[in-house]
């Protein structure tokens, strides 16, 4: 069985119209090339060998996702320094305009003018933001970001945020800064990437407290991650109970294993049933982004 058939064999029996992947990366080629070079060098935020499984050109990567039956995905871009986010947003808006199945994506950085370009992105149709606390090396409670969080919360636009301390901790990773942000902006639609790895329990607690907080499954439960940051079996019941706020994410193309593995490991989580999988692979994200759901 080829890879596309293997992926479809997981989701098609669930009766969903496809997969919604909230954690995929499409970037300007020079930026993507530098990201891949960083992974190749096992940089300090990676900390281990990390071969890129889908190192192909952009057109081929789009064909691959579509062959898997991914009906909607993101182009998660993120800056690592000032004066970069607005340019990335322009590129991402153009990419989404020519890629109808891509959820228009934008990003931000704590810098003067951030509120203005975030507002412009929302007015221009952005449907999801990416925040990368680890790579950006910034404090989510930075005063320059407070009005940004307010604008995004008022607009109800989700933010996929890498804020856990895996694979390597950053200066401002972990649950405490996010707890402080949510205390000020409780309506923020945060999607905590990687289930908050490795602070799984702390981020589940935040999701239990704040109804608009969600978590994505990116890389969770794969042997690659379980080796260093295993998901505690004791937290399984909480994960299942939050099944309506768990979203599938893959980190495509920057994963060191096949896409099918990212999906298959979720089917093996203790206690999951078809309803949980339908929600995670499709319906939860479809509802969040206003796509047609299984029930429709």
Whether residue 190 is contained in a domain is answered as yes
Tokens 């079996």, residue located: 233
Over residues 206-219, the pLDDT tens digits come to 999 999 999 999 99
Q: State the Cα angle at 32 between 170 and 193, rounded to 5°.
A: 40
The Cα angle at residue 139 between residues 45 and 192, in degrees rounded to 5: 70
Residue 247 lies in a domain: yes
3: three-class secondary structure by DSSP: helix
Weakest mean pLDDT among 47-56, 89-98, 108-117, 188-197: 47-56
Residue 294: band (very low, low, confident or very high) from pLDDT cuts 50, 70, 90: low
Is 294 part of a structural domain of the chain?
Answer: no
Task: Judge whether 295 lies within some domain.
Answer: no
The DSSP bridge pattern shows strands 214-216 and 190-192 to be: parallel
Position 43 scores a pLDDT of 84
The mean per-residue pLDDT over the stretch 60-74 comes to 98
**296 located within any domain:** no
Torsion sign (Cα): 190, 289, 22, 88: negative
pLDDT of residue 11: 98
Distance from CA of residue 73 to its chain's centroid? Answer: 10
**Pairwise CA distance, residues 36 & 29, whole Å:** 10
Token look-up 């920057």 returns 254
Res 218: pLDDT? 98
C-alpha to C-alpha distance for 93 and 220, rounded to whole angstroms = 29
Q: What is the CATH number of the domain that holds 198?
A: 3.20.20.140
Averaged pLDDT for residues 91-119: 98
Whether residue 24 lies inside any domain: the answer is yes
User: Residue 132 forms beta bridges with which residues?
Assistant: 162
Handedness of CA 152, 241, 165, 62 (dihedral sign): negative
User: Which tens digit of pLDDT belongs to each residue from 236-248?
Assistant: 999 999 999 999 9
- What is the number of domains present in the chain? 1
Q: Residue 293 pLDDT more than 80?
A: no
More confident residue, 296 or 77: 77
| Distances, alpha carbon 182 to alpha carbons 107, 161, 175, 215, 237, in Å | 19, 13, 10, 15, 24
Task: Give the confidence band of 45 by pLDDT, cuts at 50, 70, 90.
Answer: confident
For 60, 65, 249, the CA distances from 278, given in Å and listed in that order, are 27, 18, 14
Is the omega angle on the peptide bond into residue 292 within 30 degrees of 0, that is, cis?
A: no
Q: Kindly give the residue spans of alpha helices, DSSP state H, lying in the chain.
A: 3-11, 29-40, 58-68, 85-97, 114-123, 133-136, 146-155, 175-184, 200-209, 223-226, 236-241, 259-267, 274-278, 284-289
Q: Report the pLDDT averaged over residues 170-197.
A: 98
Give a yes or no: residue 135 inside a domain: yes
CA 51 to chain CA centroid, nearest Å: 20
Terminal-residue alpha carbon distance, the chain: 31
* Residue range(s) defining the domain that contains residue 70: 3-289
Chain-centroid distance of CA 125 in Å reads 19
280 lies in some domain: yes
The mean pLDDT value of the chain amounts to 96
**Nearest Cα to 279, choosing from 209, 215, 205?**
215
Backbone angles phi, psi at 24, to 5 degrees: -125, 155
Tell me if 170 sits within 8 A of 137, measured CB to CB: yes
């Amino acid at each position: 069985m080829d890879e596309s058939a293997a992926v479809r064999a997981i989701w098609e029996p669930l009766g969903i119209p496809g997969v919604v992947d909230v954690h995929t990366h499409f970037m300007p080629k020079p930026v993507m090339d530098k990201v891949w070079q960083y992974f190749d060098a096992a940089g300090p935020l990676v900390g281990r060998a990390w071969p890129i499984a889908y190192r192909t050109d952009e057109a081929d990567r789009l064909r691959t996702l579509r062959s898997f039956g991914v009906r909607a995905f993101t182009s998660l871009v993120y800056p690592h320094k000032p004066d970069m986010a607005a340019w990335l947003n322009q590129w991402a808006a153009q990419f989404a305009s020519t890629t109808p199945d891509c959820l228009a994506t934008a990003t931000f950085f704590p810098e003067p003018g951030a509120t203005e370009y975030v507002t412009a992105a929302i007015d221009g149709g952005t449907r999801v933001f990416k925040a990368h606390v680890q790579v950006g090396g910034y404090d989510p409670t930075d005063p320059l970001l407070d009005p940004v969080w307010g604008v995004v919360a008022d607009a109800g636009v989700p933010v996929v945020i890498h804020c856990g301390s895996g694979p390597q901790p950053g200066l401002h990773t972990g649950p405490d800064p996010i707890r402080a942000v949510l205390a000020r902006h409780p309506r923020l639609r945060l999607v905590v990437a990687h289930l908050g790895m490795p602070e799984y329990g702390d981020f589940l607690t935040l999701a239990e407290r704040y109804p608009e907080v969600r978590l994505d499954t990116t890389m969770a439960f794969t042997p690659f991650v379980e080796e260093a940051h295993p998901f505690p079996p004791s937290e399984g019941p909480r994960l299942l109970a939050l099944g309506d706020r768990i979203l599938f994410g893959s980190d495509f193309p920057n994963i060191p294993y096949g896409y099918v593995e990212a999906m298959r490991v979720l089917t093996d989580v203790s206690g999951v049933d078809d309803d949980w999988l339908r929600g995670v692979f499709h319906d939860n994200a479809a509802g969040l982004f206003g796509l047609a759901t299984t029930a429709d």
